[in-house]
Amino acid sequence: MPVYHTEIGVVETLEFCSDSVGVDATLWVLLHAAAAGPGSLSGLAKRLAESGCRVVVPALHGYGATRVRVEGDRMSAHEAVARFCLTLGSARTRVLFGHSMGGLAALLAASAADRLVVYEPIVIGLLRADDPEDAACLAWDRAIVAHLEHCVTVGAPESGIARFVEAWNEMRWDALPASVRQRLIAAAPDLAADIRDGSGREIAPSGIGVEVLILQGAASPPITHRMTLRLEQSLPNAQRVVVAEVGHMGPVANADRVFAAIGSAG
């Protein structure tokens, strides 16, 4: 895993490209979800590399060896990692992809990219409390987050992370391997911090002038559908595509379907 020592700190990455790729091949930077890591996007990265692209998948701030120093919160640090990775190489076209929390970071770093592809970005700030459907989704999310934060605060994070995983990741907690459960329990404080900082961040749609492909899993929680609809409505150059038979963890669990959706978007 390449490690870059930069002006903002240390950035660890996974990198993928075929042997025949040219120096000016399209660069894709993939940003992972909260409580995940760069390895979670390796399936999608390999498919993009096989199509002739160079792919960089950084560990975001606090994940792996990545530690950066910037003003602001954790989302500001994630954004800084994305911006740094988009400077790598001599590509003519630079595409920024983000999944979930990584999707929010991608939107924040949009000005550094030529194109964005986001899979169910966490844009809570776009939901409207005066809309009944949005309000119901907000209440659902706040209950899950409040439980997670309470469990972390009292030093018993497993109940909080288990409820979060079952709600967002469409899987039973006890069906996960013990090693994965332990990793997620250890990551619970950072997950709570990412959620707290992400929920408080606003994006400025008027400042996103590049084309944005918004991917939505058909089987994902209702809140994700509301967020991607609101995002599409707010952006001048957005296309929203619903990926059949895929949930919130689509880029991780169904990389083939997500890759196909990216390729088929007009």
Task: Select the more confidently predicted residue: 234 or 171.
Answer: 234
The string of pLDDT tens digits covering residues 45-103 is 999 999 999 999 999 999 999 999 999 899 999 999 999 999 998 888 999 999 999 99
The helix, strand and coil proportions of the chain, stated in percent and rounded to the nearest 5, come to: 50, 20, 35
Q: What is the pLDDT of residue 106?
A: 97
The three-class DSSP label of residue 197 is: helix
Confidence of residue 15 (pLDDT cuts 50, 70, 90): very high
Q: What is the pLDDT of residue 233?
A: 93
For tokens 């060896």, the residue is 65
Q: How buried is residue 154: exposed, middle or buried, by Cβ count under 10 Å (0-12/13-18/19+)?
A: exposed
Q: How buried is residue 53: exposed, middle or buried, by Cβ count under 10 Å (0-12/13-18/19+)?
A: buried
The three-point CA angle 167-173-177 to 5° equals 140
Residue 18 has pLDDT above 80, yes or no: no
Domain boundaries, given as residue ranges, for the chain: 3-127+202-264, 132-199
CATH of domain 3-127+202-264: 3.40.50.1820
- DSSP 8-state class, residue 33: P
Residue 266 has pLDDT above 60, yes or no: no
Q: What is the pLDDT of residue 25?
A: 85
The three-class DSSP label of residue 5 is: strand
Q: Which of 176, 164, 170, 11 is nearest to 86 (CA)?
A: 11
